[in-house]
Amino acid sequence: MNTPTIRTGEAPVLHNFIGGRFVPPRSANYIDDINPATEEIIAAIPDSDSQDIDDAVAAARSAFPSWSRTPAAERSRLLLKLADLIEQNLEELARLESQDNGKTISLARRLDIPRAVLNFRFFATGILHQSSEAHPTDGTALNYTLRQPLGVAGLISPWNLPLYLLSWKIAPAIATGNTCVAKPSELTPLTANRLAELSIEAGIPPGVINIVHGYGNKAGRALTSHPDVPLISFTGGTVTGAAVATNASPRFKKISLELGGKNPNLIFADADLDDAVATSIRSSFWNQGEICLCGSRIFVERGAYDAFLERFVAATRKLKIGDPLDESTDVGALISADHLKKVTGYIDLAKQEGGTVVAGGQRVDRRGYFVEPTIITGLGTNCRVLQEEIFGPVVTVTPFDDEEEAVAFANSTRYGLASTVWTRDLQRAHRVAAAIDSGTVWINCWLLRDLRVPFGGMRESGVGREGGFASLAFFTESKNVCVKL
């Protein structure tokens, strides 16, 4: 089904948010923002270029001296006000997120927007508890460490959890006294735009938060290579992460890269199968599988393989696909026509590689970019379908014979973002957790997040850690002061 997008002529025109004002892009060029569930154009957003980035960086630079000297208690108060405003507008923001991304409104209400509120509250209060070290040197000197903001933070976020991930960057960046220029994905600009409006209402001074819309390879590239942006926090795909690092490195910027994943979900035969099946449904298909932490490679100990597969397939077939704005929908639309093509291409590839589709496998016959939740069996760990990030509602299920093989399968990709282990054997849980190469290991749970813990990827899933004090450290520079006594 190939249908043209719908142009109603009523779509609102968004602007960049620079220096506290909404301004059109210098080029006067715009990009269509499409609702992936209806293929309607729902907004026009700036197709920004390096001139707009220059303007935004200049605004952020001029706001920095005053903002960085603002007492932490006052910065905290303003961020808490912004959190309250997001919470008060939760329903509207959830609807915008659903329309922009294709995600179900129930997930946006439950996960995306509440997490954005938490992000602001967490860092607003975190800065009130910061302290720094002192190192007395044998009675001859006293060293103490200052932690200072760097200046203008460049923040680049993807489309899958738009406000959730954007706020995960903006909150620690500005809480610690930096100002920022953020470039959200051009596929999901709506909640970033609303956040800009709410930041004015919260009283955040002009220039502290700047938002520039547009393409990654134009606006994003200009931001990552800008000489007056000393710090880049990027979340997105591994290939893009490499381009960002290439651009930013010659200027010795501080960089954090949160990249892709191909996460293993290991289910041992002694696991609580009820819990493992129910949670694996979420870790496979929540947000249409478009969460970097989804467990797309499921490995099941041979003794439990048939029982797990039967129940997992039955539960998958019960998922309701359809209108994301309907509260009862479980699976919404994929982000774009291009992504739909990519995901269905991998289902075709799975068949060519010798796999069997035991559930789903088809594009849904309706307007919008919908794909059935899909389960594939019969593929080896070296197949491309088990090696490459699909980022859709497609999982493989593969049997393993023992713990050693389970760990080898888990570690058999170039990624290392997150993993899940299901077992009732405590010793084994700890052994396997220590042996898996991933930044996060969940035992008998998934997506249980404590914002204080370090978060990030190993191998090609990223460089650096964010979360809790790791974020506060990343967004500040430590400086040692040595005083002779």
Mind telling me the catalytic residues?
258, 292
Does the footprint of ligand NDP cover residue 156 (CB under 6 A)? yes
Give the SS3 label for residue 349.
helix
Of the two residues 189 and 360, which places its CB atom closer to ligand NDP in the complex? 189
Quote the longest CA-to-CA distance of the chain.
Answer: 78
Residue 312 CA, distance from chain mean position: 26
CB 462 within 8 A of CB 456: yes
DSSP 280-295: HHHHHHGGGG-STT--
The interface region with ligand NDP, picked from 112-120, 132-140, 145-153, 210-218 by CB under 6 A, is: 210-218
CB of 185 to ligand NDP, least distance (A): 4
Q: Residue 223 — φ and ψ, nearest 5°?
A: -70, -45
Select from 46-54, 136-144, 237-245, 366-374 the region that touches ligand NDP (CB under 6 A). 237-245
Subset of 401-440 contacting ligand NDP (CB under 6 A): 417
- Complete edge-to-edge strand list for the sheet that includes strand 374-377: 356-359, 374-377, 394-400, 297-301, 264-267, 418-422, 440-443
Closest C-alpha among 186, 68, 180 to residue 127: 68
By CB under 6 A, residue 181 contacts ligand NDP: no
Q: Per CB under 6 A, does 243 bind ligand NDP?
A: yes
Among 198, 211, 205, smallest CA distance to 81 is for 198
| Number of alpha carbons in the 13 Å side-chain half-sphere of residue 127 | 31
Q: Which is nearer to ligand NDP, 187 or 208 (CB)?
A: 187
The stretch among 204-212, 220-228, 263-271, 316-324 that binds ligand NDP (CB under 6 A) is 220-228
CA angle 402, 433, 172 (to 5 degrees): 150
**What binding mask, one character per residue, do residues 261-300 give for ligand NDP by CB under 6 A, x or -?**
x------------------------------x--------
Instruction: Confirm or reject binding of residue 369 to ligand NDP (CB under 6 A).
Output: no
Residue 457 binding ligand NDP, by CB under 6 A:
yes
Binding segment (CB under 6 A) for ligand NDP, from list 32-40, 152-160, 307-315, 345-353: 152-160
In this chain, which of 40, 100, 186, 460 binds ligand NDP, going by CB under 6 A?
A: 186
H-helix or E-strand spanning residue 478:
strand 476-484
By CB under 6 A, residue 19 contacts ligand NDP: no
Closest CA to 287 of 326, 322, 334: 334
Among 51, 88, 137, 217, binds ligand NDP (CB under 6 A): 217
Residues in contact with ligand NDP by the rule CB under 6 A? 156-160, 183, 185-187, 215-217, 220-221, 224, 235-237, 240, 243-244, 258-261, 292, 389, 391, 417, 457, 462
